[in-house]
Copies of this chain bind each other. A is one copy, B any other.
Amino acid sequence: MARLKSRVTSFDVAKLAGVSQPAVSRAFTPGASITKEKRDRILAAAKELNYVPNVFASSLSSKRSNMVAVISGNLNNPFYSETLQVFVESIQRTHRQVLAFSVQDGRDSDDVMMQAMRYPIDGLVVTSAQMSSELVKLSEGLGIPVVMFNRRVVGSELSGVQCDNFEGSAVLGRLMAAAGARRILIVRGDPQGSTSIDRVQGFRSAVDGVAGVEIEEVDGESSYSGARNAMIRRFNGPGPRFPDAIFAVNDIMAIGCADALNENFGLKIPDDIMLAGFDGIREGQRAPYSLTTVRQPVERMVAETLELLKAAPEDLKGAEAQRRVIPGDLIPGHTVPGMGRWAR
């Protein structure tokens, strides 16, 4: 733990510039009352001494810390690393800083969130992780607004922004059913995660009533390798019968499925099996996959999240909880036959 070298302080600058210490503070505060001449002199002295105001000290005194903590889970899923990127860029654009945390899948996230709350942050964004009721209480006590990103909290009523996972998946379900899917395999993600649950339910709601539809579910562990391995396990047995459609609840799993089907079983998509995912990650949109999927409008979701963060903590929970559900965008892609098949 490096002890910080004692910094040049505003007092040092004040002495060199021949002014009082608060004057230095004003020189660095946009819109403060100070003559331009004096400010220039102070800034010159500051530059000479390599002085910049210490955010910690100023935050302590001003009771504002332009810091937002972002807790990301499952950064191996490109959707979440793309999302983190958008958060960083958006938050930075508003002259605030990002304190970044990651929670390994299945690891205790309470510990990490506790760390985050020791900072006097303006807000806390939680993606893809649960939050215990104890922590909800703590965040409240600390007056820190919390918004869940893409995660419906079971039990406690917290504010959050999410894509319309149910309806988006239902659209994919209808699309696949219309394209002739009857024997359908659903690749689940985290069985506890609301995202996976909602998508499975949404999809089923669209195909359950269709005549002749049989559905099977397997676990894909929310990851490329998880889905890939699930395919191999499932179809390597004696006399495997392939479904005619696969719905993976996220794109990275869909990609894992596609690779396994192609490489291990020589199947062509969509000729032999149709495939759909969810998220709209860049990788899935590229030529080798051209995945049929529903894109989560990340930019907008992030913007709404940051918007919610402005509210008082009391207005973000319980009965006041704000739930923003943003519709996703269907990306037709090439992995589900489209109207072309109907035209035949």
Binding site for B on A (CB under 8 A): 1-8, 49-57, 59-60, 63-66, 72, 75-76, 78, 81-82, 84-85, 88-89, 92, 97-102, 104, 112, 114-115, 117-120, 122-123, 137-138, 140-143, 145, 224, 255, 259, 262-263, 282-283, 286-289, 310, 313
Contact = CB atoms under 8 A, between A and B. Distances in A.
- Copies of this chain, whole number: 2
17 contacts: A1-B66, A1-B122, A2-B310, A4-B65, A7-B120, A50-B138, A50-B142, A52-B118, A78-B78, A81-B84, A88-B100, A97-B100, A97-B101, A97-B115, A98-B100, A262-B287, A288-B289
A281 to B, nearest CB: 10
A118 B137 CA distance: 32
Given A3-B63, A55-B119, A120-B56, A102 B78 contact: no
A12 B92 CA distance: 35
A40 B119 CA distance: 23
Contacts of A5: 142-143, 313
A263 B287 contact: yes
Contact of A122 (B2, B7, B120): B2
Nearest to A2: B122
Given A50-B138, A263-B287, A118 B4 contact: no
Contacts of A3: 63-64
A120 B50 CA distance: 14
A288 B259 contact: yes
B310 A8 contact: no
